[in-house]
Amino acid sequence: MIRADKLLLLLLCGACMLAGCPEIRTAERPETAECPETAEPAADTADSESADGTPGRRAFRLPDVPEALRDPADRADYLALHYWDCFDFADTVLLSCPEITEQAFVDFLSVLPHAREAAAAVDTLYSRAAVRSEALYCFIGLGDKYLYEPNSPMCDEELYILVLRALTANPRIGEADKLRPRRLLETVSKNRPGDKAADFEFLGRDGVKRRMSHLKAEYTLLCFYDLSCDECGRVKGRLAASPVVCGMVGEGRLAVLSVNVAGDSGAWRDAAVPEGWTDGCDVGERLVRGAVYDLKAMPTLYLLDREKRVLLKDTSVGRLEAKLAGADF
């Protein structure tokens, strides 16, 4: 199986350095070269049956990067744009083989950060997949699984936006299949790093309604949570015990606003609040219902600067601490 490390080797090494690597091939040939019917596979294979009924092997084959391309960026562009040249999107059996199709998609994602033509490469993939509904839904599902699901180690909003744009702009895709990508694109495009964070009203523990924008500090941490969420309690506990967070809260440099998105309740009013925090609730659950923020999982953390511009979106405690610690220098 060709893994991400070998794909990166294909990108970053010159053709002369690759001469001794039997699994990675380079060649000076036209970009439209056809895939050979028989070749030593460059990726996983799966049992199949040929047209005459004899046993065969399905495999994912990488494109041959022209030897003349020496610059890593040029090699990355070529590989990304031609990555799916030899893939049969009409083969439903191949689509159902995760060891081939899903692994190929994961490796494709590992190439995109190195490619200047990442958007065009994603467009190419979904344009080709759109010729058959089974292929289209397969790759839509893979995009969701790896780029949007919060527990995915490859979750990447920037790449996911490329996927959503490719889906919504493709004339081969019907309007019904564009409804969900349009909605998601609108949601994930809100409150991106560098944007002014959307203001909202919350109800404080004292029964007074306030606005997020009224918090005054060098940094503002938004912690959206649900009382019924166990992970929310664990994350809030880590934040409350963090020396970096506690230190900056004590100095008045960091304002922490925790917001119960499930609305007002007796349990919320009785729950403990870490010292120095402002705790509120979203009366009427407008943040979720109106998709004011992309709250696909709980808890969700945002770090804002003094002007309430987003520094970190849907971040982790570790990344938050590193960012705040760096702010001290």
Give the pLDDT confidence score for residue 93 in this predicted structure.
Answer: 94
Q: Which residues does 224 contact at the CB level (< 8 Å), separation at least 6?
A: 258, 259, 261, 287, 293, 295, 298, 299, 300, 301, 302
- pLDDT beyond 70 at 324: yes
Please write the tens of the pLDDT for every residue from 17-31: 333 333 333 333 333
DSSP 28: -
Query: CATH 3.40.30.10 residue ranges in the chain?
Result: 201-326
CATH superfamily of 201-326: Glutaredoxin (3.40.30.10)
- pLDDT beyond 50 at 16: no
Lowest mean pLDDT: which of 43-47, 66-70, 147-151, 271-275? 43-47
Of 166, 167, 161, nearest to 188 by C-alpha is: 161
Please state the rounded mean pLDDT for residues 306-317: 96
Give the pLDDT confidence score for residue 329 in this predicted structure.
Answer: 37
Please write the tens of the pLDDT for every residue from 43-69: 444 554 444 443 356 789 999 999 999
For 35-103, the DSSP string reads PPSS---SS-EEEEE-TTS-EEEEE--PPPBPTT--SHHHHHHHHHHHTTTT--TT-HHHHT-IIIIIH
Please state the rounded mean pLDDT for residues 280-287: 92
Please state the rounded mean pLDDT for residues 82-104: 96
> SS3 for 288?
helix
pTM of the model as a whole: 0.78
Give the pLDDT confidence score for residue 5 in this predicted structure.
Answer: 58
Instruction: Give percent of the chain above pLDDT 70.
Output: 82
Q: What distance in Å separates the CA atoms of residue 102 and residue 116, rounded to the nearest whole number?
A: 23
